[in-house]
Amino acid sequence: MRIATPIALALLVTGLFAALTEAGVTPTTKPGSAGQAAYLKECGACHFAFPSQLLPKRSWDKIMNSLDSHFGDSASLDEATKAEILAYLDKNSAETSSTKASKKLLASIGRNEVPIRITDTNYFKRKHDEVRPDVFKRKSISTAANCVACHPTAASGDFNEHKVRIPKN
Amino acid sequence: MMKALCVFACLCLAVVATSKQGFAAGLNAEMTGYVQGLESQAKSQDKGFKAFDAERGKKIFFETHPNAKNGPISCSTCHTPDLKKSGKTLVGKTIDPLAPSANRNRLTNAKETEKWLTRNFKQVYGREGTAKEKGDVLKFIAAQ
């Protein structure tokens, strides 16, 4: 019994940790990483600054090299800022992350696919398969890309299922 | 020391010169330099150019253009017709007021100003703004 207790505790802690990562906690990159401030400022000016670990490098490359028509809108940046942000995204892309979320997301993308929307990946779809399409269309949500509408802690990389609050309208 | 004084004097002169042109809100030295740059560009591109004009700027701000994705769009679509109020980006994030009288951070940083003018002219007009257009719309915003 005396020996069993620490083992049980260790198992419990490991289990808790696994449960947490399983629930989709995507630790954000270390605050102050090179280029992070520029990323949050420039990309976050118009939309939620999505965790860089939720798309592969090839996706970030494609997105950042077509800013003149960014999903049909103009998001042009000067060359220096663009290069700084792209370097940050590449350095912190899904491939560089050890989280389950990143690994499963990568595994859900075909080798020749270059998704430019996180919401297009099978991983995202699987994780949200219980959410009806009309829920995403609610006024305060409007699009599945609006992470913070239902994940209040998304900005800190925390997508834990238990913290989800889906607005009623 | 002399050099610093000279720079200071030049900046003062620049501020005086610009306020004469009617950027009444009183731009800082950095923005004054930026506007002067636009002015000399405008002069070289358009022989008839005399000065920036807030009325022309207002027209640029409110002119609506077709947009394949978002439908008809103007600057006021996101910034709202009242520049003293907060606006919303096309994906719903809040935009702080554009009017310097309501938001003292506006028109204080040349790099930011140039970035947004470039990006938003492309968004609404589908092309970059000319120096004359940029100066006109800045003069309109500065007066708000």
How far is residue A26's CA from residue A17's CA, in Å, rounded to a whole number? 13
Best of A41, A74, A117 to substitute, by most chain B Cβ atoms within 10 angstroms, is: A74
Hey, which residues 142-161 in chain A have their CB within 8 Å of chain B?
A: 142-143, 145-146
Closest CA to A154 of A17, A43, A48: A48
Those residues whose C-beta lies under 8 Å from the C-beta of residue A26, and which sit 6 or more positions away, are A51, A53, A54, A97, A99, A101, A102, A157, A158, A159
Residue B88 belongs to what H/E stretch? strand B87-88
Average the pLDDT over A19-27 and give the result. Answer: 49
Contact B123 A73 (CB under 8 A): yes
Residue ranges, chain B, pLDDT below 50:
13-20
Contact A74 B120 (CB under 8 A): yes
Amino acid A135: pLDDT: 95
Half-sphere exposure of B60 (CA within 13 A, CB side): 25
The pTM is what?
Answer: 0.78
Beta carbons of A38 and A168 less than 8 angstroms apart = no
Amino acid A18: pLDDT: 45
Q: What angle do CA A3, A5, A9 make, to 5 degrees?
A: 130
How far is residue A74's CA from residue A6's CA, in Å, rounded to a whole number? 57
Topology of domain B27-44+52-142, CATH? Cytochrome Bc1 Complex; Chain D, domain 2 (1.10.760)
Q: Answer yes or no: is the ipTM higher than 0.90.
A: no
Amino acid B8: pLDDT: 54
Beta carbons of A90 and A133 less than 8 angstroms apart = no
Count interface pairs A-B at CB distance under 8 A.
Answer: 39
Residue B94 belongs to what H/E stretch? strand B94-95
